[in-house]
């Protein structure tokens, strides 16, 4: 996903919240959305405030699962599984296969809920089991902790929501206990993102902590107003929450699932409306609590790729492409140092160039390692092609870095041996240098095919000039060898840049 698109979608807090709600409603996991957003912050694609607005929306989007579960539609479970399997197995079009996975996933969700409800029914007769949840009814704080721990273990608030509805429908827990458990589940679901951010950048940790903070604060004040809040839910939800019906020998509560789902939804909507105006203040609070540690080094924050991003492989391809772009900028900066070292004998460029070469090596290793993991994921044909293009581009970029460092080393050897060029040789090298990048680098990249041919012609012409200077005794043999070495290296760098230009100008990339 392009950075400009992300900025447009999330600059406005309301739109960012809407994006988070819609994405989470589609993928049915607030944890996945939050981990994705943490990855965006880690990669520098989002600011902390933008990320928090999307996470607020994710809290609303995840309540859709509970709403679906609360309707008694278990009868369509098997047809959904069957239709989804047919679409996934017998059709080769990716769009239909993805649709099949979605339909089959919903079918399995309905079937699992029906199975859980049936499995919990015998437990309704166990007084020992019921006594635990009776305790929760009278001790909502303990119930909140239980909901948080359960969600932390299961790693899915949707799953624990399903369990809560199943328990309530079977009559094992009442509405107050279910309400407290649901509030706890909202805290537990934030732990996943915080775990994902452990090895991420400081802004990513702040985004994950912000999610935990506004859910924790929301649950805290809602506990104070829990009784009037439940009364409000009873008022807006059709059907008596205490109504029972007989199914054979079992007694079930048909309306309580809708009440629980509405409580979950309304809690997150109210919490979002309260926090939305204060997101910048919340972002500042997170920045104040999670400060940069002294031991954090540039290397740990250099490449913004992490295994958590692999949970959304299609988006991870775009993030990897962005990191390759950052690596390219580093290689061009190293080339600039090399030109200063060769043409201006700039001493600072020697040390700066070496340090930048190490940075490029880190980029090369990290990106290739990430691409290897990414290529094993389920991806579209276009994304697989892009992975190959990124890998090829990274290899070319790495060679620019290596060859730029070679230019610096050649100049170092010349200095050690007191080898100097004639004015003509220096001017010729300067002429070649001017063909690499104009002030407008994007335009220069688009027209680099023409420049690459010019550089090749100049290299051949200047080699002849060099031989002429040798014959006339105006140039020493060591200086001549160094001159040819520099020309050849510059021409190879031109080939690398031309190859990259062809990759990035491909309309499918």
> Which band of pLDDT confidence, cut at 50, 70 and 90, is reported for residue 49?
confident
Can you tell me the distance from the alpha carbon of 259 to that of 143, in angstroms, rounded to the nearest whole number?
18
228: left (phi over 0), alpha (psi -120 to 50) or beta: alpha
Question: In this structure, are 258 and 336 located in the same domain?
Answer: no
Question: Among 228, 257, 289, where does a domain finish?
Answer: 289
Can you tell me the distance from the alpha carbon of 304 to that of 41, in angstroms, rounded to the nearest whole number?
9
- Domain assignment present for residue 298? The answer is no
Measured at the CA of 190, the angle between CA 283 and CA 63, to 5 degrees, comes to: 105
293: left (phi over 0), alpha (psi -120 to 50) or beta: beta
Short-list 338, 357, 340, 328, CA closest to 442? 328
Task: Give the pLDDT confidence score for residue 297 in this predicted structure.
Answer: 44
Question: In this structure, are 135 and 255 located in the same domain?
Answer: yes
Q: Which residue has the higher pLDDT, 435 or 171?
A: 171
Question: In this structure, are 257 and 344 located in the same domain?
Answer: no
Question: In this structure, are 351 and 400 located in the same domain?
Answer: yes
- Domain assignment present for residue 297? The answer is no
- Domain assignment present for residue 156? The answer is yes
Question: In this structure, are 265 and 355 located in the same domain?
Answer: no
Question: In this structure, are 376 and 496 located in the same domain?
Answer: yes
Question: In this structure, are 319 and 273 located in the same domain?
Answer: no
Query: For tokens 């892009």, what's the residue?
Result: 386
Question: In this structure, are 238 and 349 located in the same domain?
Answer: no
Contact assessment for residue 198 and residue 224, using Cβ atoms and an 8 Å cutoff: no
| Arithmetic mean of pLDDT, 15-37 | 79
Question: In this structure, are 259 and 372 located in the same domain?
Answer: no
Short-list 12, 59, 487, CA closest to 265? 59
Question: Among 289, 322, 343, where does a domain finish?
Answer: 289
Average pLDDT, the chain: 80
Task: Give the pLDDT confidence score for residue 236 in this predicted structure.
Answer: 93
pLDDT at residue 203 greater than cutoff 90: no
274-278, 301-305, 456-460, range with the lowest pLDDT: 456-460
Query: CB-based contacts of 293: which residues, under 8 Å, 6+ apart?
Result: none
* CB-based burial, 167-180: b 16+ in 10 Å, e otherwise: bbbbbbbbbbbbbb
Would you say how long the chain is, in residues? 509
- Domain assignment present for residue 492? The answer is yes
> Which band of pLDDT confidence, cut at 50, 70 and 90, is reported for residue 205?
confident
Angle formed by the axes of helices 226-236 and 175-188, nearest 10°: 110
pLDDT in tens, 220-261: 999 999 999 999 999 999 989 888 888 767 778 888 989 999
Range of the domain at 162: 3-289
pLDDT in tens, 341-357: 887 888 788 888 888 89
- Domain assignment present for residue 165? The answer is yes
| Arithmetic mean of pLDDT, 397-423 | 86
- Domain assignment present for residue 222? The answer is yes
Angle formed by the axes of helices 13-27 and 48-61, nearest 10°: 40
Can you tell me the distance from the alpha carbon of 151 to that of 139, in angstroms, rounded to the nearest whole number?
19
Question: In this structure, are 277 and 218 located in the same domain?
Answer: yes
Bridge partners, 247 (sequence order): 250
Question: Among 238, 256, 289, where does a domain finish?
Answer: 289
Provide the domain count of the chain: 2
Question: In this structure, are 353 and 283 located in the same domain?
Answer: no
- Domain assignment present for residue 306? The answer is no
Q: What is the CATH number of the domain that holds 369?
A: 1.20.58.220
277-281, 286-290, 339-343, range with the lowest pLDDT: 339-343
Question: In this structure, are 175 and 105 located in the same domain?
Answer: yes
> pTM of the full predicted structure?
0.63
pLDDT at residue 500 greater than cutoff 80: yes
> Which band of pLDDT confidence, cut at 50, 70 and 90, is reported for residue 436?
low
Structure tokens at 377: 């994921």
| Arithmetic mean of pLDDT, 184-205 | 78
- Domain assignment present for residue 157? The answer is yes
């Amino acid at each position: 996903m392009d950075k400009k698109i992300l900025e447009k979608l999330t600059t406005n807090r309301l739109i960012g919240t809407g994006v988070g709600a819609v994405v989470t409603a589609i993928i049915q996991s607030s944890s996945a959305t939050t981990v994705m957003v943490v990855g965006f912050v880690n990669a520098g694609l989002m600011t902390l405030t933008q990320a928090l607005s999307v996470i607020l929306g994710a809290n609303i989007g995840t309540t859709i699962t509970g709403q679906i579960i609360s309707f008694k539609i278990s009868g369509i479970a098997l047809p959904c599984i069957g239709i989804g399997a047919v679409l996934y197995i017998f059709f080769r079009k990716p769009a239909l296969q993805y649709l099949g996975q979605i339909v089959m996933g919903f079918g399995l969700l309905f079937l699992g809920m029906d199975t859980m409800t049936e499995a919990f029914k015998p437990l309704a007769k166990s007084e020992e089991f019921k006594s635990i949840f009776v305790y929760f009814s009278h001790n909502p704080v303990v119930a909140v902790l239980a909901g948080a721990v359960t969600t932390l273990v299961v790693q899915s608030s949707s799953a624990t929501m399903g369990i809560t509805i199943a328990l309530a429908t079977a009559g094992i827990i009442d509405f107050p206990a279910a309400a407290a458990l649901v509030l706890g589940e909202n805290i537990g679901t934030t732990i996943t993102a915080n775990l994902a951010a452990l090895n991420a950048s400081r802004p990513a940790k702040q985004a994950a902590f912000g999610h935990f903070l506004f859910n924790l604060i929301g649950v805290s004040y809602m506990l104070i107003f829990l009784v009037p809040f439940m009364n409000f839910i009873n008022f807006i939800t059709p059907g008596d929450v205490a109504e029972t019906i007989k199914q054979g020998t079992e007694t079930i509560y048909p309306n309580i699932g809708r009440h629980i789902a509405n409580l979950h939804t309304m809690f997150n909507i109210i919490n979002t409306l309260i926090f939305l105006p204060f997101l910048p203040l919340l972002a500042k609070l997170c920045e104040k609590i999670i400060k940069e540690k002294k031991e954090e080094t540039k290397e740990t924050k250099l490449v913004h790729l992490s295994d958590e991003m692999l949970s959304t492989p299609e988006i991870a391809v775009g993030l990897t492409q962005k990191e390759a772009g950052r690596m390219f900028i580093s290689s061009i900066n190293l080339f600039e140092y090399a030109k200063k070292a060769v043409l201006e004998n700039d001493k600072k460029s020697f040390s700066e160039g070496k340090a930048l070469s190490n940075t490029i090596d880190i980029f090369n290793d990290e990106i290739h390692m990430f691409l290897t993991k990414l290529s094993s994921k389920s991806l579209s044909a276009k994304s697989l092609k892009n992975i190959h293009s990124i890998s090829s581009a990274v290899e070319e970029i790495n060679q620019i870095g290596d060859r730029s460092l070679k230019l610096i080393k050649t100049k170092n050897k010349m200095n050690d041996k007191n080898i100097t060029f004639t004015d003509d040789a220096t001017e010729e090298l300067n002429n070649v240098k001017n063909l690499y990048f104009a002030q407008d680098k994007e335009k220069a990249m688009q027209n680099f095919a023409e420049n690459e041919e010019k550089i090749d012609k100049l290299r051949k012409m200047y080699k002849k000039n060099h031989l002429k200077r040798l014959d006339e005794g105006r140039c020493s043999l060591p200086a001549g060898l160094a001159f040819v070495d520099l020309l050849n290296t510059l021409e190879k760098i031109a080939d690398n840049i031309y190859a990259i230009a062809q990759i990035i100008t491909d309309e499918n990339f």
